[in-house]
Amino acid sequence: MRLDGREFNELRPVSLHTSYLKHPEGSVLISVGDTKVICTASIDDRVPPFMRGQGKGWITAEYSMLPRATAQRNIRESSKGKVTGRTMEIQRLIGRALRSVVDLEKVGEKTIWIDCDVIQADGGTRTASITGAFVAMVLAFGKLVEENKLTEIPIRDYLAATSVGIHGENSILDLNYEEDSTAEVDMNIVMTGSGQFVELQGTGEESTFSREQLNHLLDLGEKGVYQLIEQQKEVLDHLAAYIPVKER
C-alpha cells in the first residue's frame, strides 16, 4: 500500500476545468491530486523565422512554477535573469510531445503558444502539463473551427502523459512528490490514444533498471495514459465531431 493509500496501479484524482481564463483561445486548469497547472493555448498568426514560407504551423511551449507552488519558496527565474536547465528540459518536452500528434501542414502559418504555469506542485508537474496542454490546444483549435479559420481540428490522435517509477522495489503509477523524491527509477511516458509512444524518459537516480522492470513500468504507464485520455474525451465531447481519431 502507498503513502497516500493508493494501489500501485492507481492514478490520483484528476480534474480538467476547461475555459478557466477569459483571454486565451484555449485554457484549462488541470488538477492531478494536489498538483495544479494552468495550461493555456494562444494563437499567433506568425511562425518563427526558421519556419517561414513553408506553409506549416509551429507549436512551442513554456513552463513555469509560481514561487510558492512548492513547500519551500523558489526564487523566480525572472529574478535570476535566466531559465534553469530543468525548466528548459520540460518546455522542450511539452512542445515536442504536442507537435507529434498535430498535422502542422493543416495548421497553416500559425504558432500555437502553450503556457503551463504550475500554481501548486506535488509531483508529476510535467506530465500534468502535457495532459492539460493537449486539452487547451484542442480548445484553441476548436475556436479556429468556430471562426471558420479551420475546417477540422488538425490532430492525428489524443495525447496524455503520466509518470511511473520503482519505489522500494515496487513499480508504481503516478508518483506524488514524496514518492518521486525517494524513487530509485523514474519514468515519464507520453502516449497517444491508439497506444503509440511519443516520448519515453526513464532515469535511474543513482540506480539502474533491468529490461524486465522496464516492461512492468511500460504496462503500468499505458494503463494510466488510457484513463487520462478518457477524461480528456469527456471534456472535449462537444468538439468530437471535428476530431479525426485513430483506433487503438
Interface with its own copies (CB under 8 A):
21-24, 27, 34, 38, 40, 42, 44, 62, 64, 66-71, 73, 76-89, 91-92, 96, 99-101, 104, 113, 115, 117, 119-120, 122, 157, 187, 192, 195-211, 214, 218
Query: Residue 181 or residue 201: which is nearer to its own copies going by CB?
Result: 201
Question: Does the annotation place 124 within a ligand binding site?
Answer: yes
Query: Closest approach of Cβ 35 to its own copies, in Å?
Result: 10
Query: Residue 62 or residue 178: which is nearer to its own copies going by CB?
Result: 62
- Nearest residue to 41 via CA among 107, 105, 85: 107
Angle at 128 between CA 223 and CA 212, to 5 degrees: 40
Contacts of 102 (CB under 8 A, 6+ apart): 57, 59, 137, 154, 155, 156
Largest Cα span, the chain:
56
Query: Residue 3 or residue 21: which is nearer to its own copies going by CB?
Result: 21
Query: Closest approach of Cβ 104 to its own copies, in Å?
Result: 7
**89, 144 contact by CB (below 8 A):** no
Query: Residue 27 or residue 125: which is nearer to its own copies going by CB?
Result: 27
Beta bridge partners, 172, equal 165
**22, 10 contact by CB (below 8 A):** no
Query: Closest approach of Cβ 67 to its own copies, in Å?
Result: 5
**139, 41 contact by CB (below 8 A):** yes
Question: Does the annotation place 123 within a ligand binding site?
Answer: no
- Nearest residue to 107 via CA among 146, 139, 147, 149: 149
Query: Closest approach of Cβ 50 to its own copies, in Å?
Result: 12
The C-alpha R_g of the chain, in whole angstroms, comes to 18
Query: Closest approach of Cβ 230 to its own copies, in Å?
Result: 19
C-alpha cell at 97: 510531445
Query: Closest approach of Cβ 159 to its own copies, in Å?
Result: 9
Query: Residue 10 or residue 205: which is nearer to its own copies going by CB?
Result: 205
- Nearest residue to 92 via CA among 129, 48, 40: 129
**End-to-end Cα, the chain, rounded Å:** 31
Question: Does the annotation place 248 within a ligand binding site?
Answer: no
Query: Residue 70 or residue 231: which is nearer to its own copies going by CB?
Result: 70
Q: Indicate the annotated binding residues for phosphate.
A: 86, 124-126
Binding-site residues, in ranges, read: 86, 124-126
